[in-house]
Chain A
Amino acid sequence: EDQVTQSPEALRLQEGESSSLNCSYTVSGLRGLFWYRQDPGKGPEFLFTLYSAGEEKEKERLKATLTKKESFLHITAPKPEDSATYLCAVQAVSGYALNFGKGTSLLVTP
């Protein structure tokens, strides 16, 4: 059975303090790994898709990386506006559906 585990559940950072969020996964044939950002009361907003081990993608202060067992979302010099819940999801080659982790709630304080 596909499984996605995100850690930590919650993370508090000072503005400018870089860190990483982890997404560990098991899937029977990875089609893609997805990162989303979700603000309170809103739908998830797409950030990145990663397809194969070694792949990296960047957007502003965020960088996502992928290995065969886990993905990291690196946040460099975060700002308060980066505060949100970050969701990781995997899609197996066999299907359409995404299997989501429970998310990491990030708070960046000034």
Chain B
Amino acid sequence: DVKVTQSSRYLVKRTGEKVFLECVQDMDHENMFWYRQDPGLGLRLIYFSYDVKMKEKGDIPEGYSVSREKKERFSLILESASTNQTSMYLCATVSPGEDTQYFGPGTRLTVL
């Protein structure tokens, strides 16, 4: 079974703070993704990575950056958190040779 873990289930931060969200997979997958999910807007892709140190912008990368130093770990960074970044953040990974994305449990981030 694919296992995707995210560092926190719930997180509360203040405006202007630097925020790190971490995603870890244990299956040696190359492709990893970060989405955010908001009511009425669905899931939207922020960034994805297809290998260590490789990244591509998704549909809504503004205000975010990512880091992939090791294959199993993909971090989403909010350089200066703002209230409009309050959301559910979901990480996903894809098995080699497959197309299906498997999701982690999500991190509910609140920025005050």
Which A residues contact B (CB, under 8 angstroms)?
31-32, 34, 36, 41-46, 49, 87, 89, 91, 96-98, 100-103
Residues of B in contact, count (CB < 8 Å): 25
CA of A103 to CA of B39 in the docked complex: distance in angstroms? 10
Residues from 84 to 99 in B contacting A, C-beta threshold 8 Å? 90, 94, 99
User: How many inter-chain residue pairs (CB < 8 Å) link A and B?
Assistant: 53
Where chain B touches its partner, the secondary structure class is strand
Question: Is B74 an interface position by the 8 A CB rule?
Answer: no
Question: Is B50 an interface position by the 8 A CB rule?
Answer: yes
CA of A41 to CA of B108 in the docked complex: distance in angstroms? 8
Which B residues contact A (CB, under 8 angstroms)?
4, 31, 33, 40-45, 48, 50, 56, 58-59, 90, 94, 99-106, 108
Determine the chain A residues whose CB is within 8 A of the CB of B44 once the complex forms: 100
Known interface pairs A34-B100, A96-B94; A42-B106 also in contact (CB < 8 Å): yes
Q: A46-B100, A89-B43, A102-B41 are in contact. List 9 more A-B contacts (CB 8 A).
A: A32-B99, A43-B103, A43-B105, A44-B43, A45-B103, A46-B101, A96-B56, A97-B33, A100-B42
